[in-house]
Structure formats: structure tokens, C-alpha cells
Amino acid sequence: MKRVLGGIAALGIAALALTGCAANTGGGGDDDLITVGFAQTGSESGWRSANTESLKAALSEENGFELIFNAADNKQEAQIAAVRSFINQGVDAIVIAPITVDGWDDVLKEAKDAGIPVILEDRTVSASDDLYATWVGLDFKQEGKTAGEWVADNFGAEPTNLVILEGTTGSSAALDRATGFAEAIDGTSINVLDSQTGDFTRDGGKKVMEGFLQKYGSEIQVLFAHNDDMGLGALDAIKAAGLTPGEDIKIVTIDAVKDGMQALADGEFNYIVECNPLLGDQVADLVKKVLAGESVDKAYIVPDGAFTQEDAIELLPTRPY
């Protein structure tokens, strides 16, 4: 079993070249359009909404595509059923943002047997890499490492209590961010009091943080949230407990969507690592290349940044997501 991890390749956006529209080979509809089935995770966060809009804009009729879209509400069985539906409809290509790493072998083999190429976006899978054409996304492990390095640099010299809001259990984003963060704080004086999943949702982050505060109270000095939305939910819990986010509890998150960047500009977050959701153009280019029989790499990694309060204040007015 081979797993595509964020750090396997130092490949950037520049590796993607624009190509012409391939001829339609099935799927019904306008013969001049490429029919693509896109199996999205759901709509759990601001990042996910921006990612969906990016894919919809890139896979539009104006760009030569007929898009069949499905959002699975973060239920893997529903996402796999959507992929099987795309196969039965005879689409030209399938794009998947896999909810979890495991459980994809059978349906990916079905797509391969049907002659339908699969492009993974955002998250990765543990299935053999000969079952999909390529993957484009972010280096989740590096995102976690960058967040951990900021915590280590700012708090690692003194005993510091930290709690973690994890992403969806079994997702490559949550697994890799946790690994990168743990590596970065290893050997420091950071003490992880607790780590639980908030499922990448604002409501989940609030509920888990409420539990952390009830259990540990003012012992908590730093919060690491695997995404902005969970961090934003945690803000409500922290304020309700009579504490000041950004001061009593320092907060580092990942994503850099507008709501998160606003919290950073306001001083309620202290540091954000970027996770760029605008993958649509890269995905569309890869679909065309694969269908045209052109050679593609197995992994394309989109570079990320990281932001302080000063950065957020400067960037917010022109932030595209």
C-alpha cells in the first residue's frame, strides 16, 4: 500500500501547464463538454465552501466541462455511493476530496476497470497509487510542523499547557497535521493536556473546547486547532468562560479563511498557517491532461504561507477567501 503524503514531493503550482480541452469520451450531455463527477466531503467549514466554489468555477461549461456535483455531509459511505453513481453514469473523469484515508480500494478499482480516471484533490488515500491518476493538494504535515514551530519558538522554553482540536478522525489532513505538530514540539517544555476531534466544524470546536475548559480551566495556556472553524468555535467557549482569547489562551490555527484572518487581525487568534482552498484551476488542468493522455506526476503540492496579526491586517482587504 502506498500513501501520498504532503511531504513526498517538492512540487509547486508551476508544475501544472495549461492544456487544451480533450474530447468527450462518455457521460452523456453535450459532446463538446468533458463530464466530471466531483465527490466533495461536505460543507463543514469556510475552507470547504471556498474549495467547492473554486472547483465549480473551474469545472464550468465556459471552461469546457459538465460538472456533476455531490457533497457527502462527511459520511464516507455516502461519498463512495456518489462515486459509484458517477461510474454508472459513465462520466469522463472523477474528482474526489476523500473524507478519510482508508476504505477506497474497492471503488477506485471499479473506476479503473470502467476506464474512468480519478483525480484526488485536497486529501489523500492509503490505496495503491495505481488506482488513481494524480493528486493535487497541500502539504498537511508541513502545515502542522509550521504551527508547532511557532508554538515551540514562543512557548517551548517554559512549561506550557496546550490542548488540541483535531480534524475529522481518519482524514489525511488531521493525521498529517497532528504528526507535523508533534514533531515540531518534541523535546520542548510543551505539555499536551488533551487532544480531541471537533470534526473540522465550528460547533464541534466549541463543544470540545467547553469540555476542555470544564476539565482544565485556567491551566490551558495554548490552543492548537487543526482548522480556523474549530478555533472560531473555541472562541465562543473561551469568552463564555470569562477568559480572553489571544491573551489568556494563545491560539494557533490552520486555514487562513476570512473569518479566521479577521480573528487574527482582532488579536483573538495569535498565528495562522495557510491552507489554500483554491485548487479548482489545477484540478481542471489535470483532468484535461489525463484525458488527453499526457503524462502527469502523482502529486502536485500547492505552497502555503503563515500569518501574524500584522500580516492579517494588511492582507484582509484583498483576501480572496
User: Cell numbers 477506485 label which residue?
Assistant: 108
Alpha-carbon Rg for the chain in angstroms: 20
Give the start-end residues of each E strand in the chain: 34-40, 65-71, 93-96, 118-122, 134-137, 160-166, 190-197, 222-225, 250-255, 271-274, 299-301, 306-307
Cα–Cα distance, 249 to 209 (Å, whole number): 12
Quick: pLDDT tens for 15-52.
Answer: 333 333 333 333 444 568 999 999 999 999 999 999 99
Fold agreement between 6-137+276-303 and 140-275? yes
305/310 Cα distance (integer angstroms): 14
CB 15, CB 73: distance < 8 Å? no
pLDDT of the chain along its 321 residues, tens only?
Answer: 323 333 333 333 333 333 333 333 334 445 689 999 999 999 999 999 999 999 999 999 999 999 999 999 999 999 999 999 999 999 999 999 999 999 999 999 999 999 999 999 999 999 999 999 999 999 999 999 999 999 999 999 999 999 999 999 999 999 999 999 999 999 999 999 999 999 999 999 999 999 999 999 999 999 999 999 999 999 999 999 999 999 999 999 999 999 999 999 999 999 999 999 999 999 999 999 999 999 999 999 998 999 999 999 999 999 888
Give the per-residue pLDDT at 21: 31
- What 3-state DSSP class applies to 75? coil
The pTM of this model reads 0.87
Cα gap 47→70, rounded to integer Å: 17
Could you tell me the end-to-end alpha-carbon distance of the chain, in angstroms, rounded to an integer? Answer: 35
Convert the pLDDT of each residue in 164-180 to its tens digit: 999 999 999 999 999 99
140-275 folds as Rossmann fold (3.40.50)
Domain ranges for the chain? 6-137+276-303, 140-275
Cell representation of residue 156: 517551548
CATH placement of domain 6-137+276-303: 3.40.50.2300
- The CA distances from residue 179 to 6, 15, 25, 160, 316, in Å, are 11, 27, 41, 19, 30
CA angle 51, 53, 57 (to 5 degrees): 120
Question: 25: which 3 cell numbers?
Answer: 469520451
